[in-house]
Structure formats: structure tokens, C-alpha cells
Amino acid sequence: MLALALAGWTIYSMFDLGPLIVRPSGSTTTVAAYTGADSWSQVRRTPDSAGFTPDQAPLPESIKWTVATTRELVTSPSVFEDTVYLTTEDGRTLALDRESGDLIWEFRSGFPSSSTPAVAGDLVVFGLRPGPLIALNRHNGELEWELDFENAILASPIVVDGTIFIGAADNKLHAVDVVTGRQRWEFASNDWIISTVAHDGESIVLTSKDQFVHVVDTNTGRRRLVYDTGRSRRISRGGPAIYGDMAFFGSQDGKAWGINRLGKTKVFERGILYWRTNFFLWGFASRPPVQKGSVWSKTVGNDLTLTPAIARGVAYFADRTGKVIALNASDGGELWIAELDSDITAPLTVAGDTVLVGTRAGTVHGFDAVTGQELWQFQTGGMITGSPIVAGGAMYVSSHDGKLYAVTAAPGGPS
């Protein structure tokens, strides 16, 4: 009996069969975060995590308003209808008037948050760093439900078809019914999931603090594809982005990747790949095996562990040491590279024809998305780790100086 158990464990570990999951019940609603161009209602705006809006970024000529908190702001706000929603390091969640910045309500949890709130239906959802997932009534800030994962939450949630998807430090991706707070299913990865997942159709793409990328079935949580970038190529905090059939991500060794997310890892396939790779390394095979899902990879920098932005067939990657790299999404062909004098500390976003870049120096740089020419700069008083976002002609920037900035073009001037 023990021998059978050991054999089963060996096969499970080596060949990564994944859990045998009974199909879970469906969600109680189809409500989702709004994705119209006039709003930015969840992190990265759309569930594919592309970080793109067709809304044009304004020339940053006028500070419309600022809101100050007592500690640094580490994550982006969300914007929906007449309200801006923001989590803070001083243990609050704020609802602010979009036009004036005036406080509408606040929820005091007493715990810091690394989550950009997701607004769906009548709820605003976010994680607290110690582990609770919180849902508030977005109109008055009253608590609707709370689900404690009892492990750190560093990622931001997305809401699609009535389900919240969020990873945690328990190495799991959690799928939670947005109305009831009931967990529908969970998927176990190999390490902490600290970045936002990407969702499109019936698949979710996620990364964890190791070298693996997982593609998971949206409805069941069953693994469809596992992609191994190699032991020296950890993906770290950067999440994936989806464009068409492909998923994009970067790794710590400065390599940009584009893989086919529709590939499927079959039973025993990873074990066979392992031995075929070793046969090549030992000289018993003339060419290395090709991993399922491989399309292209390219070394373009030193540390590409921030989530890329995708817009109009172009993948924009940030090297933390100061490079912005634009690659053709289909084949990885280099389109342009721009270099800054400061480290890049926030995932890139694209607003209209402008790539927005947040830096350690507290500056937002705007680059022409087609040519890579720098168009403008906007200075804050602290490092920027939450992506700058654009909604309704205004740019919103969270800074480690503790302020949220709402920035527009000069009154009467061009946007």
C-alpha cells in the first residue's frame, strides 16, 4: 500500500497531472467590471490585463485636484461613473468625487492594501494585505461580505461573469462568487501568486513567484497548459497579459515571452519533455525539444518582471532599470526602445496613442506609442508603483508621497 502511495506521489510530482476536480457550481450572477472607455473600473482596466484604454491621455498641464493620505500610496485607483475608489496604506478604502476629489465615504479596515479595487454591479471588491477579501456596497461603503484566505493578498482582483479571480500567498488562485462571497473553486500553483491574472474566454493565465506560467479553465479551475521558462528565469511579481490567442510576460533574466495560451499540456507530457531535454543536453539528441505553447522569446533587457501592456498588436515591456521596449506581438520583432535615467517601478499602461511610465523618481513619462518619442513628463513627490491610469480625459496617479493626483490638460487647451 505504501509502495502504491509513493508511486502515485512520484507520478503526480514528475508529470504534474493536477487535481481531479469535480465541476463546481456556477456563479449566481453574470455581473462584471465595466470596461467602457470612460472608466477604469478594475486593475489593468480589461480582464485580459492589457492595460490599454482608447481614451487619449491628456497633456499633464493642470492638477485638477489631489487627495493626501498619511502614508505612501502603492496601487492605482479605479474609476467608475462619478466616483474614484482607492485603497490606502493607512488602512482605509476611499470613495472620492470624480470632479472635485471630495470624500463621499470611507471604510476603515485598519489594514493596508495592495489591491486596486474592482467595481462590479453595486459592489467594490479588494483584498487586504493580511488576507481578507472584502466586498463593500459601492454607494455607501457598508460591508457586504468578507472572506479570509488567512494568507497575504498582494494581488488585485478582477471580476468577470459574476466571479472574482484573485491569487494569494497560499499559492492558490481563488474563484469567488461576487454576490455571496462563496468560493467556487481554487487552483494550486507552486508559489505565491502576487500579480493580477489575465482572463479571456474560457481561460485564465497566471504567474507565480517561480518560473511557471499556468493556463487554467475559467469554469472548473482545471489546468490546461503549464509553461516552464526555466529555473533561472523567475517571473516574480509581473503578471501576464493576453492579446488574441497569445499571452505575454517577462522574466528576471530580461527575456520577453509570447506564448500560445490555447495549447494543452497532456498527461505525462511534461515528464517526457524533461527527459527529451536531458537527452539533448547529454548529446543523445541533435536538437532541443519544443515546449507546448512556444511562439517566441527574446532577451531585450535585464529585469522584465513588470506586467506588459498590449495595444494594437504591440507588446510594451518595461525593464526595471529604465528601458521601455516595444515589440511586435506576433513575432517579437523590435519596434523601438526608449531609455530613462530612473528605474521603472510601475507596470506600463497605454492611453490612446501614449505609453505611460511610472518611475522611482516619481515621474510619469508619456511616450508616443508608435515612435517611442518622449512627449511629456509629470512630476510627483514620491516613487510610483501603481500604474498611471486614464479615464474620461483625466490621468490619475498614485504616489509614494501619499497623494492621489487627478491631472488634466489646461482648461480650454488640447487634450
CATH number for position 273: 2.130.10.10
Do the Cβ atoms of 65 and 101 come closer than 8 Å?
yes
Residue-level pLDDT at 12: 46
Q: What residue ranges in 193-348 does DSSP mark as E strands?
A: 198-200, 203-207, 212-217, 223-228, 241-243, 246-250, 255-260, 294-299, 309-311, 314-319, 323-328, 334-339
- 263 falls in which pLDDT band (50, 70, 90)? confident
Asked whether residue 210 is assigned to any structural domain, the reply reads yes
Over residues 72-112, the pLDDT tens digits come to 999 999 999 999 999 999 999 999 999 999 999 999 999 99
Q: Which helix (H) or strand (E) holds 403?
A: strand 403-408
Mean pLDDT taken over the chain: 90
Residue span of the structural domain in which 8 resides: 2-20+28-408
- State residue 232's pLDDT score: 58
Using only C-alpha atoms, the chain has a radius of gyration, in whole angstroms, of 21
Residue 229 lies in a domain: yes
pLDDT digits (tens, 9 = 90+) for 127-165: 999 999 999 999 999 999 999 999 999 999 999 999 999
Average pLDDT, integer, range 377-398: 98
How far, in Å, CA of 183 to CA of 170, rounded?
15
Q: Convert the pLDDT of each residue in 221-239 to its tens digit.
A: 999 999 998 865 667 568 9
How do residues 329-376 score in pLDDT, each as one tens digit?
Answer: 999 999 999 999 999 999 999 999 999 999 999 999 999 999 999 999
CA distance 209 to 192: 6
In the predicted structure, residue 11 carries a pLDDT above the cut 50: no
In a domain? residue 136: yes
Q: What is the pLDDT of residue 276?
A: 47
Percentage of the chain modeled with pLDDT above 70? 86
With cut-offs at 50, 70 and 90, classify the pLDDT of residue 215: very high
Residue 413 lies in a domain: no
- Name residue, grid cell 494569494: 168
> How do residues 293-313 score in pLDDT, each as one tens digit?
999 999 999 999 999 999 999
Closest CA to 67 of 405, 358, 394: 405
Residue 414 resides in a domain: no
pTM of the model: 0.90
Report the pLDDT value the prediction gives residue 265, as an integer from 0 to 100. 75
pLDDT tens-digit series, residues 19-54? 444 578 789 999 999 999 899 999 999 999 999 999
Distance between CA 388 and CA 357 in Å, rounded? Answer: 7
| Number of Cβ within a 10 Å radius of residue 333 | 11
Looking at residue 188, what is its pLDDT?
Answer: 96
Q: 258 in a domain, yes or no?
A: yes
**Residue 19 confidence (pLDDT):** 44
129 by DSSP, 3-state: which?
Answer: coil
Query: Total domain count for the chain?
Result: 1
Residue 146 belongs to some domain of the structure = yes
